[in-house]
Each structure stands twice: as C-alpha cells, then as structure tokens.
Structure 1
Amino acid sequence: MLKHFLLLGYSMLCGILLCYGQENPTPITLHQLLELVRQHAPSLQTDAAALAIRESQIKKTANNRSPDLYLSYQTNLGSNNNVAGPYFGFGIVPTNNRGVRESNNYQPVSSNLGIAAFQWEFANFGAYRAQRAAAEGDLAVEANKFAQAQFDLQSFTIYSYLQLLKLTDLSIIQQRSIERNVEIHRSILALAKSGIRAGVDTSMAEAALSQARLQQIDLKNQENQLKIRIAAVSGLQVQEVIPDTAAEHILFQQVTALPATLQETNQHPLINYYQSIVANQELKEDLVRKSYRPKLFLSAAVWGRASSVNSVDEFLPLNQGIGMQRGNYLVGLGISYNLFDRRRQRLDLALTERQTMRASKKLAEEQVNVQTNILQAKAEVSAAEERLHEIPRQVKAANAAYRQKFSLYKNGLTDIVELNVAQNMLYRAETDYITAKYNYYLALFHQVIAQNNVDPFLQLFN
C-alpha cells in the first residue's frame, strides 16, 4: 500500500514539474519592451559613452587656465671649453658657460642645477571662454545625437512590435486557411471514395493544403527573424519576445479617435540635432577669432647652481661641483603675439564659416523633409482609414461566397477550380483586412514620429 502511495506521489510531482516546465512565457507589453530597450540596447550604451567623453572634454578645457610649475634637477660631468660668439641653441645644443681659454682643456668638470619654473597664461582676451563654449557646444551636439538615437531606437521598437502583432494575426489567418483546406480535402476524399468526384480533385486539394502549410512556415520564419532583432536590443531571450495581443484589440477600439489629437507638433529630435550643429559651428567661428589674439604671461623661476671650476678658472676636485653654490630668482610679465597670424586667421575663419553655411543648409533641408513627412503621413492616414472601412465588406462577401461554393461543390453542382477560387478570394480578403488594419496603425505611427508626438499613440497600448 505504501508503495502505491509513493508511486502516486512521484507521478503527481513529475506532472507538476512537467507543467511548470511547459508554462508559456508571459506576453510583454510595448511599454515594458521600450524600457528594456532603453536599458540594454548596445547602440545606446555606445552613444552614452561618447556623451561621457564630451563631458570629460569640458573638464579638460576648463583646466586650460591652470598655470604650469616645472621642477628640474640635473647633475653633469664634462669638459668646459668655450669661445665667444652668439648662436641659436634650437633646444639640442648643450649650454657651456665661461671656459674661454687659449687652448682646450679636457679635464672633467662637475656641475649641477636645480630649478623651479612657474608660467601662467593668465589672459588671452576671451580665448579661454571661447574654448569652454566650443566644448559645451560639442557636448550639446553629442547630447542631441544621443536623443536622436533614443528616438530612432524607440521608433524601431514600436514598428517591430506592430510588425510582430501583424505576423501573429497573419499566422492566425493562415491557420484558418489550413483548416479550410483540411476540411475541403476531407470532403473530397469522402466524395472520391463514393465515386462522385474524380481522384484529380484529391491531388489538387493536397497541393492547396501543402501550399497553405508552406506559407505558414514562411510566416513563422519572418516572426522568428523579427524576434531575434528585438531580442538583440532588449536583452530578452528570443522565446521571451511575445507580443501582448490583448493590447492590440484595445488599440483597434481606440485608434480611430487618435488623429483628432495629433494636431500639435513638437520639435523633432533630428531638427534639434542639426540646430545644435549650427550653433556649435558659430561657437567655433568665435573660437577661431579669439585664438589668434595676444596672450599675456606671468613667469617666475627660482634656481641654484654649483660647479667644480671656481671664479678664477681653477679646476677643483669633482666633489666641489655637488650642492648649491649660487642661487637666483626671476619674475616677469610678458606678451606674445604673432603678427603673421592674420592670414592664418582669415583662412581658418573662412573654412569654419563655410562649414557653418553647410550646416545651416542641411538644417533647412531636414526641416523641409520633416514637414514633407508630416504631410505624407497625414495623407496616408486618410487613405488607410478609408481602406479599413471598406475591406470588412469584402471579407463578409468573400466568406459568404466561399460557403456557398463549398456547399455547391459537396452537392456536385460546381468543380474544384471554382471552389479554390472562392477559397483564395476569402484568404485574400482576410489577409487584406489584417494588412489594412496594420497599415492604418503604421500610418498613424509615421505621423506621430514625423511630428514627434509619440505619447498619445503609446497611451493606446495601456
């Protein structure tokens, strides 16, 4: 008896685990999918990193005002032979003080030098402010580019979700077509066995059934491909990408009232992006003007030296050149201005102004494109709405025609060709209805995208 209870308990446990393992994933709403895309999309993470780079660039630019303080110490060993006369050091000729004699003396001399040098470009007539403004302009461009990327990814997500709902509905229509073909095939088999119908009708029915199943396979492949693309940007597993079909029914009930609420147009992120480019180019023009202005410097230095050669040109032991024998300090104000920079400034400014002009023309072009897209989307909404109102009549008529032809066929009053025509007409009407419905959704979607007025459309999915 105990063994029977144990077996029963084991069977129930296995059944529960099996049911749990086969539990269907919960459908995901459009709002949930959009939030996952914002958090996990690889392209947004890349753009966010680029935005962080621009923020770091502002901090780096702000540090341009900081002074420089150099510390240097050196100990040297070498000869001390020199002649009178000037020369350019070019940064590579070693300095050798005094040592002007009748002949060379290659006896080694030790020396050392320690210095602390301070230099600060404390004024450049607005160049620092222009550098900061240009860096902030770069940040504004990157921020608007990031906003545009978010907008594009949001558009892609909404479009893909609608396409996924459409493929789900088309799969349901295709399944109905398969069931009708199975029903026709079953009837033909019964009629063929009784000798009422020829065997060729059976072959034609099998071919139609096979074609319907192949179309179902193609739809399933399209759905899987779309799910893979959605999973790539949302962080979900492919099997977790299941659209909420209940939300689509609510959407269909409410969507016809949406166009009346879409008259208000917001600034499109693409326009914001190109406006920021124009503004940034103008800031760069100002930077070019101010970067060639004079520069004022404050310089100071403290240093000490020692040498193993004394003031009367006696060569002392090398250890006498260690330590500090003499010390000095120096403070000064300076101004620097290159008189030949005027031509360079004009050339740089002309180049930057042309870049600004190009950015302005691109902005005007995109403004025209956005307005054109809005007008085209509104026209498409109107046409799609008319098609959506007309197609249900086609579906109703095609369904009645199919039922009549099927009844006539079973009674021997028509042939398989006319029945297939009626069946294909019904299938076409059903798919046309699904296509018209989602074309209406997409037309509205294109309008809200062109107007940057997506929120009213998203609220229909609540």
Structure 2
Amino acid sequence: MNIWKPLFLLAITAGCSSAAVMGQTRPLTLQEALQTGLKNYQSIKAKENYAQAATENISAVKREYLPDLNLSAQNSYGTVNGQNGPTWGYKGWSTGASGPALPSQNWNAAFGGLYLANISWDVVTFGRQHAKVQAAKEQLNTNKADLEQEKFEQQVRIAGAYLNLLAAQRLRGSMASNLKRAQDLQHIIVSRALNGLTAGVDSSIANAEVSKAKLTLIDAVNYENAQSNKLSEMMDVPPQDFTLDTTFVTKIPNQLLETASAQDAASFKEQPLLKLFSSRVSLSEANQQFISKNAMPRLSFMGVLQTRGSGFDFDYNAANLSHYSQGYWSGVQPQRSNYLVGLNLSWTVTDLWRTHAQVARQHYTTEGLKNEYNQTYNRLQHQLQLSEQQIGNAVKKYREAPVGLKAASDAFLQKSTLYENGLSNIADLAQALYNINRAETDRDIAYNGVWQAILYKSATVGDLQLFLNQL
C-alpha cells in the first residue's frame, strides 16, 4: 500500500486554513484577513487568557466562604516536669508540659499523643463576602470588555491596513503605467531627434522624464512593501506578496452613510471603547463597596474536638514517680477527649477610621474614571461629525476624479499628437505627462478614500458591520 498518498492528503487538509494567505491561489478577501488576524494575533490571545483568569478568580473568591477545617495528629516524647510561675513563649517557642510540680528535677520521659479537628467559619460577614464576589464579577466584565475592545480595534487596524495596501498596489500600477508612457515618448522623441526633426535637447528631457518615472515607481514599490508588511503584522503571518480583492477599487457602496442617524447615536451605547470605560467605572464602584464593608464586624463559628494520649498514669505525682510507661503505644493511644463549640463576634472598631480614608480614595478614583468616560464619549461625538464630513468630501472627490482623468487623458493625447507633428514643444508634452499621472493617482486615491471614510465612521460608531455590510 502506498502510504504517501494519505499522508499527503492529511497535510493538504491541515494546511487548508492558511492557504488563503500562504501561496495564494485566489485573492485574499477582507473577511478572510479579519478572521486570520483574530485567530493569530497574540494580544487577543493574551486578553482571552486574562478573561479566563478572571473567571477562575470568581470561583476562588466564592470558595473563600468555605470554613477552615484542620486535622492534626501529633506524637511526642519528653518529660512532664511542672513548675509554678509565669512564662511567655517568645516567638511561639515553649513546651506544653502538664505534669505535677515536683520538689526536684527528674528525667522520667514517656510518649504522648495529641489528635484534634478544628473548624473555624465566618458565618456572617455583614456583606463583606458578597461585595468581594461582586468585585470579582466586575473584574471579569472589565476583562471581557477589554477583550472585545482589542478584537474590534484589531479588526479596524486590519481593515485599514488592507485598504492601504490596496491603494499602494493601485499607485504602483499607476506609476508603472506612467513609466511605460514615458518610455514610449522617449522612443518617439529620440527617433525624431536622430532624424533631425526635433532638437537634441528634447531627447535629454525625455531621458530625464523616464528616470524620474523610474524613481517614482521605486518609491511606490517601497510604499507597497511597507503596507504589505503592515498587513502581515496585523494578521500575524509571515511577510508575503498579497493578492487582494479589487472590489474596493471598482465600485463604491450603493448606500452611503453620509448623515448621522438615531441608530448611530444608539450604537454608542455598544461602542467597545465606551463599554470598556464603563466597565472600569463599575469595577471601581464595586471595589469601593467592598472597601466600605471592611469596617463591619464578623460573626464566626468555631469548634474543636481533641483527643490525647499519655504514657504517664493519671496518678503520676511526687509519691508515685514510677507510674508511667515508656512504651510507644501506651503513650500515643487515645485516652481522653474534649470538645468545644462556640460563636465569636469580633469587630475592630478602629477600622471605621481606616476604611473611611480608603473609601474616599476609591471614590475619587471612580470619579476620575467617569471623567475619562465622558471625555471619550465627547471625543467620539466629534469624530462622528468629522466622519460624516469626510464621507461627503470623499464622494465629491470620487465623482470629480474621472472628470479630471478624462481631461488629462485628452490633453495628453492632443499634446503627444501635436508634438509628433512638430506643432508643440517638449515642455508642454512633459506637463501633459505629469498631469495624466497625477490624475490617475487622484483616481486611485478617490476610490479608496470612500471606503476609508466609511471605515472611519464604523470605527467611531463602534460597529464594523456598518462597513462590512457595504461589501
């Protein structure tokens, strides 16, 4: 059996997702560019992980309400000499001997055991735990809003880079056409100069025009390479030569978004950047609420079950110093048990003064975030007005560019014909060549400018579908 065929088919299947980018066999559409960028861009992946971390943090905060249950088992060996008098265990170091106070030191030693279960539970926190959970939820909302804002911003960057590259490719094509026209004219002018029909200086001017056209073409290629590299970066794919969809240079949207509507104003409510600022305000308010709850008391339930064993008998004292056993099991086996349950209400009164300043600090932070929200909202309102003006101006340029191109084409044809018949000079012909090159450039920019203006408005409103629906 030929094993290479199924392996080859498997490789083709695995690589089909990147076929639209690597080794293109068809034009790369804008939708494919957007999908590739959203899938590959590392900043988006990072914010997805931050959102997941915030989700896990909610579970962690909720589990803080669970009681503390400790189990302990201790075996020890030592003496039990007791002595009347006060003592203090410095840094927690002290022995727990519970034997009788003997008239003199003795070194009788035996094994002992201590087994206990301890539970401590803050049953009532007076809103502290709930406020902490709410703060964790608001942190999740903020991280999600940050993720959505990053996705939206990345889509706008990709769409902008796509349009810029498309414009650069059209400009490079126009510069190549300009070079061809200059070379055709150079051939005609040089032939006429060699035949003595025109002055020799005309051929020098024609050579200069060809050189200038080559330099302009090189600049256009450099600009195209830069825009191609930018698109590769936004999509997080290796640099390459892209073949793009030429829809953006063959037509403009049927329904232009030239005026603001109530829907645009309503869309501001869903603007990803505003939602991010709004979520930050909510998070700050939740933190403020949590801080204020730190001044409240707490009611705790506690319980202890303790079992002890000892190698010393119950009647071990000065008169019965031999009543003990050094056997291991005799000392560590459980013999006596005690339990304790209770409630503890604790309140650190000075927290009232501590939290007052902390709440005030968080309050001013919240007010500052509200100011940033309002500033961003006002800025977007101004950008919306500017985007409408840009769309109107872009449409005017789009309608005027063909007029200028036709006039420049006619003028170039007339001047070239007149020159070939000796009725015009090289200066007029060079100016006509410049004019048609400029008119072609204006045409390429005008078509692309309409789409750029619509993208700008979509980015301002916060709804990329306003742009994508025009395709």
Normalized against structure 2, the TM-score is what? 0.86
CA distance in 1, matches of 2:365, 2:160: 35
Displacement of 1:306 after TM fit?
A: 2.2
The aligned counterpart of 1:310 is: 313
The aligned counterpart of 2:167 is: 166
The aligned counterpart of 2:276 is: 273
Matched, 1:432 2:442: yes
Superposed counterparts of 1:113-192, under 5 Å: 113-192=114-193
CA distance in 1, matches of 2:183, 2:354: 82
CA distance in 1, matches of 2:109, 2:120: 35
Q: Deviations over 1:155-186 (max 9, x none)?
A: 11111111122112212211210111111111
Superposed counterparts of 1:403-414, under 5 Å: 403-414=413-424
Displacement of 1:262 after TM fit?
A: 5.8
Contact 1:81 1:96 survives alignment (8 Å): no
The answer to which of 105-114 and 155-164 deviates more is: 105-114
The aligned counterpart of 1:399 is: 409
Cα–Cα, structure 1 residues 427 and 38, in superposed 2: closer, same or farther, change >3 Å?
A: same
CA distance in 1, matches of 2:432, 2:52: 62
For residue 244 of structure 2, what is the amino acid of its counterpart?
P
Uncovered stretches (5+) of structure 1, i.e. residues with no partner:
1-22
CA distance in 2, matches of 1:219, 1:324: 91
Cα–Cα, structure 1 residues 410 and 96, in superposed 2: closer, same or farther, change >3 Å?
A: same
CA distance in 1, matches of 2:226, 2:198: 43
Superposed counterparts of 1:34-433, under 5 Å: 34-89=34-89, 92-99=92-99, 100-234=101-235, 236-239=237-240, 241-246=242-247, 248-250=249-251, 252=252, 254-255=253-254, 257-259=256-258, 264-265=263-264, 266-267=267-268, 268-311=271-314, 312-313=316-317, 314=321, 316-319=324-327, 320-433=330-443
Contact 1:230 1:241 survives alignment (8 Å): no
Displacement of 1:47 after TM fit?
A: 0.9
Secondary structure at the counterpart of residue 64 of structure 2: helix
CA distance in 2, matches of 1:321, 1:189: 118
The aligned counterpart of 1:5 is: none
Cα–Cα, structure 1 residues 79 and 416, in superposed 2: closer, same or farther, change >3 Å?
A: farther
Contact 1:258 1:457 survives alignment (8 Å): no
RMSD: 2.3
Cα–Cα, structure 1 residues 87 and 206, in superposed 2: closer, same or farther, change >3 Å?
A: farther
Cα–Cα, structure 1 residues 103 and 419, in superposed 2: closer, same or farther, change >3 Å?
A: farther
Contact 2:257 2:388 survives alignment (8 Å): no
The answer to which of 163-172 and 407-416 deviates more is: 407-416
Uncovered stretches (5+) of structure 2, i.e. residues with no partner:
1-22
The answer to which of 99-108 and 132-141 deviates more is: 99-108
Secondary structure at the counterpart of residue 65 of structure 1: coil
CA distance in 2, matches of 1:365, 1:129: 32
The answer to which of 383-392 and 153-162 deviates more is: 383-392
For residue 418 of structure 2, what is the amino acid of its counterpart?
L
CA distance in 2, matches of 1:103, 1:220: 102
Secondary structure at the counterpart of residue 302 of structure 1: strand
CA distance in 2, matches of 1:177, 1:165: 18
> How many equivalent residue pairs?
437
CA distance in 2, matches of 1:24, 1:284: 51
The answer to which of 424-433 and 269-278 deviates more is: 424-433
Q: Deviations over 1:376-407 (max 9, x none)?
A: 11122222222333333222222222222222
Cα–Cα, structure 1 residues 248 and 414, in superposed 2: closer, same or farther, change >3 Å?
A: closer
Secondary structure at the counterpart of residue 134 of structure 1: helix
Secondary structure at the counterpart of residue 349 of structure 2: coil
Secondary structure at the counterpart of residue 257 of structure 1: coil
CA distance in 1, matches of 2:149, 2:288: 25
Q: Deviations over 1:124-165 (max 9, x none)?
A: 111111111111100111111111111101111111111122
Displacement of 1:247 after TM fit?
A: 5.2
